Amino acid sequence: MSHLVAPSLLSANFLNLEKDIVMLNQSEADWFHLDVMDGVFVPNISFGFSIIEKIRKATQKVLDVHLMIVDPERYLERFKKAGADIISIHMEACRNPVEALRTIRTLHAKAGIVINPETPVNVLTEVIAEADMVLLMSVHPGFGGQSFIQDTLEKIITLRSMITLQNLSVMIEVDGGIDLQNAPLLVRQGVDILVAGNTIFSSADPTATIHQLKNIR
């Protein structure tokens, strides 16, 4: 399978969100990456259920919801109801990740587990079998437009061997600071989903940038 491109709407124009959604619908973008922040787990607050419900009505594409909130267990059902197809929770924000991932699957959503740049891959050993996707943060979560942390490349290799060793079919998503320079490296490492916010939405031609990200070989 070739890689997928998931634009992060955090960098979209919220004054005219419909325009950006129409652009994404007509583009080669595969998923909509939606960043939910609570101002506690990360030092920023973004958006919640009502915005996701509106986006759900405006696109048929997969809604990939990245929860940067503490104790995400409290809200899994509501995010599913709002329209999430994939729900990703942070290892660092969750008391019982195994249980939370199982709950997400019970809700008939795909379950993602996320780790921050400073969290080692080996913490995933006990939970990875419960996940459909691992999201490696390649910036400190909270803000778009930061630069890619190079250590992520090592983590991708470690994660890939963990997946192979346990004979799993878990997707790898990378999020933060992805641009046209580093994306080919990630694709070559076997990353399944590239998230990109700033690179797409601050481009003069976002559709063309999505095309470029999608057509990396």
Question: Can you tell me which residue has the tokens 């930061």?
Answer: 146
Interface residue with Zn ion, options 12, 175, 182, 193 (CB under 5 A)? 175
What residues between 148 and 187 interact with ligand DX5 by CB under 6 A?
A: 175-178
The listed partner (Zn ion, ligand DX5, none) that binds 176, CB under 5 to 8 Å by sort, is ligand DX5
Task: Tell me if 5 contacts ligand DX5 by CB under 6 A.
Answer: no
Task: Tell me if 93 contacts ligand DX5 by CB under 6 A.
Answer: no
Task: Tell me if 72 contacts ligand DX5 by CB under 6 A.
Answer: no
The listed partner (Zn ion, ligand DX5, none) that binds 7, CB under 5 to 8 Å by sort, is none
Task: Tell me if 206 contacts ligand DX5 by CB under 6 A.
Answer: no
Interface residue with ligand DX5, options 72, 112, 197, 206 (CB under 6 A)? 197
Interface residue with ligand DX5, options 72, 83, 97, 144 (CB under 6 A)? 144
Residues 6+ apart with CB under 8 A from 190: 156, 160, 172
Chain contacts with Zn ion (rule: CB under 5 A): 35, 66, 175
